[in-house]
Amino acid sequence: MLPELDDVKLGQVRRQLDSPPMPGQSEIQIDQVERVLKEAGADWDRRAHRCAVLAEAAAHSGLARSWRQRQPRSADALVFDAWVELVRGRRRGTMEDARATADHCHRAAAAKPNDPTPWVVLLAMLRLLRADSRDVFEVWHEVTARDAWHREAHLQMLHYLSPEECGSRSHQLDFVDAVRSGIPATAPAVGVELTSLVEEYERITAKGGVEALLARRQWSHARANAALERALTDWTGPDRLQHAGALADLNLLAYALVQAGRVREATRTFELIGETVTPWPWQLDGEPLDQFGYWRSKAMR
């Protein structure tokens, strides 16, 4: 299970950050991170994907801070350090210094005004802090003004609006409906609706009892059925998904199809996924690789 999915260059840098530290290696690692972020250019979706994966890998070290101190005016250094602090905040349940992280985001945004990434980090931080919705939506509008269909930003909003956080199921459904009404068929955020459905399925099964036993019925409802039909048509056809998180969305589709009892229809999706398995949502039913392998073998018969 590779967090970089099919991004080969990202995987090479991620493995370097995971390797045991050696004298003088920090400078080399900073240069590698800087290069791979710059190579993403204005592909904001891929830039966010690369930031997220490398921030997870760098969170155990002082690399991000060293880079920021070495290049205090660099937008890349500032936003990467902010993302690393976000990762650490998620792990501990709160931000160590939210004000400093926000300051780094604002400085990065000023240095690279067209880049939505600093605003995405701010959005995720406000979600972690359970901030007031007015503040969250203000940042949300900053992101979407720069990238209308930013995948990570849409997922952050979906979760912020969940009943477990600062919203409700109806808030989530309203958000999903608003997204679906305007989103292009293969935009990076197109997986939001299916993510919402799988999370609702997870929510129901976690309750236990009779309701959990009947949870699979949700996949026969009109909303879920329509979402699966759209995904099968748009995601696996000639103009299939190409964004940085495409394989994660295809894993999501394969899981939803098998839960809906449409295993044979998942064949093409499993072919597109290849060997790139994502932990979620397969982990909902057991060990991810085992679950993926079991259902793929059934679909490919």
Please give the C-alpha separations between residue 63 and each of 25, 30, 66, in angstroms, as whole numbers.
Answer: 10, 7, 5
Q: What is the pLDDT of residues 178-221, one digit of tens each?
A: 999 999 999 999 999 999 999 999 998 888 887 777 778 889 89
Question: What pLDDT, on a 0 to 100 scale, did the predictor assign at position 243?
Answer: 97
CA contacts within 13 A on the Cβ side of 12: 7
Those residues of the chain that have pLDDT short of 50 are none
Q: What is the pTM of this model?
A: 0.95
DSSP letter at 220 equals G
The DSSP result for 32-79, as a single string, is: HHHHHHHHTTT-HHHHHHHHHHHHHHHTTSSHHHHHHHHSTT-HHHHH
Given this model, what pLDDT does residue 58 score? 97
The answer to whether 197 and 218 have CB atoms below 8 angstroms apart is: yes
Per-residue pLDDT tens over the stretch 83-111:
999 999 999 999 999 999 999 999 999 99
Q: Which of 20, 116, 37 is nearest to 77 (CA)?
A: 37
Instruction: Given CATH 1.10.150, say whether it is the number of domain 1-148.
Output: no
Q: Where are the domains of the chain?
A: 1-148, 176-301
pLDDT number for residue 42: 97
24 vs 162: CA distance, rounded Å: 45
Task: For residue 184, give both structure tokens.
Answer: 């292009």
Mean pLDDT of the chain: 96
CA 132 remoteness from chain centre: 22
Q: What is the pLDDT of residue 237?
A: 87
pLDDT of res. 51 = 99
